[in-house]
Amino acid sequence: MSVPSPDRPQPIGRPAAAWYGRSMAVRRRRRVVVAGLLVLLTANSLLGLGYGLTAAATPATSLTSAAVGLVLTLILTGVLAVEWRLGDRLLASTDAARRRGDRLAHYDSLTRLPNRRVLERELAECCLGTPPLGAAFALHLVDVDDLKAINDGFGHDTGDDVLRTVAQRLRAAVRDTDLVARLAGDEFVILQRDATPATAANLAQRMVETLRLPLREHTTAIVPTVSIGTALFGPGRTQPNQLL
């Protein structure tokens, strides 16, 4: 509601909410005036700019002006609602684009594993003793053997299937606290937290056995094999580049 001038201390007519569910007919004997609508909204334009919108009406002096004022108020309210909805959609679209960009920056598009950037960050935190303080860990480098031969013999789509299958099996072989990342090409890395020499050796052996399971391509069974190198955090291996 808006007070049009200082000499009118009270809003004129009825607020918009008073009309919900009621007849808007104007009675002849009793002049009913639509007081106007004060709209205080922060909308977002299609350009992403925020702006404030305010609408106010002066007292109607006749039935015609009251009807015109009501129509204009309804039109303005509809326009604001559309603009507000468009702004919300634009914000949602922008937020979705930001999330997609974040995924592309931190995850491999083929295997959906964390990429080298995430690995280097997690590895640096482990080397600094960021929690748990002083906990030992192991780093396993997994190299898929003869991926080029698979690409040449069966096509790159099959080679991609092999990489995706390796990624899925590696994830299934580790704990939730461990990290599986794709380093580059046919190389994967597992960051095994709270590891000892014995648990690191057991995980490496389990990964070899899991990855030996055949992958069937039409009538041909492809048996992916891998080579695994393991390094444990300790004297002489306290920096990420030393471990890698």
Is 90:43 a contact under the CB 8 Å cutoff?
no
Q: What is the pTM of this model?
A: 0.57
Per-residue burial over 122-139, b = 16 or more CB atoms within 10 Å of its CB, e = otherwise:
bbeebbeeeeeeeebbbb
Instruction: Give the tens place of pLDDT for each residue, 189-220.
Output: 999 988 999 999 999 999 998 888 888 765 67
How far is residue 221's CA from residue 213's CA, in Å, rounded to a whole number?
Answer: 10
Ranges 20-34, 58-72, 79-93: which has the least confidence: 20-34
pLDDT tens per residue, range 37-51? 444 444 444 444 454
* Residue spans per domain, the chain: 16-105, 116-243
Is pLDDT of 240 > 70?
yes
Report d(CA 142, CA 195) in Å as an integer.
Answer: 17
Assess whether 176 carries a catalytic annotation: no
Residue 30, Cβ neighbours under 10 Å: how many?
A: 6
Q: Name the architecture of domain 116-243.
A: 2-Layer Sandwich (3.30)
Residue of 108, 152, 176, 186 marked active site:
186
